[in-house]
Structure 1
């Protein structure tokens, strides 16, 4: 770590009287705007500095590394997520899941940062506190059960949200939405299923209800909650 203190505890340098004043908040907002438009590859201290009409070296007074900038960006998104609500643990878990999914659909790059090492920014910690408090208030007061429920939900969200974001990106990259993609590859799939080599898959393709992304997400939450119900 380039600095002995973490970014959250490091004092912000005093603002200078310059044509383009800086602050960590302005830097983070500019980085989020770049990432929302073109993904995390579009984010660098040099590009953020250009967006703020400032020299890159000025940004290093506020942020030491790109990793610190990404941590600040993730924390800013957690600050947008409302506190979960619900009268039962299952309702609270659904509320948590929907809040994180909504944030990732607003900021697709957030899905790339979700998972891995825990985020420890103040807004992230406040969100985690609100989640545990809501679960406790809803009756899930066993510490191990509550921690297990949160970890299990996190594992589901990492997979489900990343998959949904990846599908959205694929649609944009190909220029084909879901219906257009199915129309393009439908004849090939029908020929393969007609061989009789995939009877159960054919049954699913022709007979199962095809769910929207939101319905798939909600169904997964329902399965998750039901699986954690001791009854």
Structure 2
């Protein structure tokens, strides 16, 4: 027997929100009496983001945030029950606003939406580890999702397919940003190649045509050297994303 089937259960009862979500969505009851609290979730979140921007996510703790605000650590627990809840609030606040849908074709908007995700992660690399923790729950995170769903309004896709498109594109953005940041932080000395061109030269030297005939042909054809400078550039990003967008277009065509 489910909860809604139990005697006396209200079938339309709303689920109880965790405290931090209630505050993020403005659902927390406002006290009628007493002095106005000196803290709120927005101030706490802003202080935590400032610390993460300066010193990385590892530097964020209830103690460090309290110290920055000039309060006792225990005073924060009125607003967030744990560091995990604080991270949830930080992710939403630091995500910014999604690009507007108006004026772009569906495909152009999906491209812009995905690229904006990457830009957000590159601006604040510490967001990556929080974003991997689960789907969005805050008002900003869900606004990103709402905007993408709006761009898919004129398609015959059902709700599940639209959500899966959002998951696929956000996953691509997360992976792309992670790879860019990892390559930027990797050592540029010793046995590690410093660029795509250097990687191609190393591969050409290492592989033999008998065991790796296709890879040897690509490496000796200077394919890797064509990508000068950064390991991953706009061309690489667009190529991968175009593959996904082509698949989305094909799915829409099949449903039409």
TM-score, normalised via structure 2 length: 0.71
> Are positions 1:59 and 2:73 aligned together?
no
| Aligned partner (choices 132, 143, 155) of residue 140 of structure 1 | 155
> Are positions 1:157 and 2:173 aligned together?
yes
State whether residues 132 and 146 of structure 1, in contact with CA within 8 Å, keep that contact through their aligned partners in structure 2: yes
Question: How far has the Cα of 1:99 moved from its partner?
Answer: 1.2
Q: CA distance change for structure 1 residues 153 and 135 in 2, over 3 Å: closer, same or farther?
A: same
Q: Secondary structure at the match of 2:179?
A: helix
Instruction: Give 1:171-190 correspondences, 5 Å limit.
Output: 174=187, 181-182=194-195, 189=203
Question: How far has the Cα of 1:196 moved from its partner?
Answer: 6.4
> Are positions 1:223 and 2:243 aligned together?
yes
Instruction: Give 1:117-136 correspondences, 5 Å limit.
Output: 117-136=134-153
Q: Secondary structure at the match of 1:229?
A: helix
TM-score, normalised via structure 1 length: 0.78
Q: Secondary structure at the match of 1:22?
A: coil
State whether residues 84 and 95 of structure 1, in contact with CA within 8 Å, keep that contact through their aligned partners in structure 2: no
Structure 1 vs Structure 2 CA RMSD = 3.1
Q: Distance in 2 between matches of 1:102 and 1:186?
A: 28
| Aligned partner (choices 215, 238, 250) of residue 201 of structure 1 | 215
Q: Distance in 2 between matches of 1:4 and 1:224?
A: 35
Name the residue aligned to 1:91. 108
Question: How far has the Cα of 1:117 moved from its partner?
Answer: 2.0
Name the residue aligned to 1:5. 18
Q: How many residues align?
A: 218
Q: Which is helix-richer, 1 or 2?
A: 1
State whether residues 209 and 216 of structure 2, in contact with CA within 8 Å, keep that contact through their aligned partners in structure 1: no
Instruction: Give 1:14-93 correspondences, 5 Å limit.
Output: 15-16=36-37, 21-85=38-102, 87-93=104-110
Q: Distance in 1 between matches of 2:55 and 2:188?
A: 16
Question: How far has the Cα of 1:15 moved from its partner?
Answer: 4.3
List runs of 5+ in structure 2 lacking aligned partners. Answer: 1-15
Q: Distance in 1 between matches of 2:86 and 2:193?
A: 38
Q: Distance in 2 between matches of 1:148 and 1:118?
A: 12
Question: Which ranges of 4 or more aligned residues in structure 1 deviate by more than 6 Å?
Answer: 183-187
> Residue deviations 1:79-129, cap 9 Å, x none?
343334564332121111011111101111112222442121112122211
Q: Secondary structure at the match of 2:117?
A: helix
Question: How far has the Cα of 1:54 moved from its partner?
Answer: 2.4
State whether residues 98 and 147 of structure 2, in contact with CA within 8 Å, keep that contact through their aligned partners in structure 1: no
> Are positions 1:166 and 2:179 aligned together?
no
Q: CA distance change for structure 1 residues 187 and 67 in 2, over 3 Å: closer, same or farther?
A: same
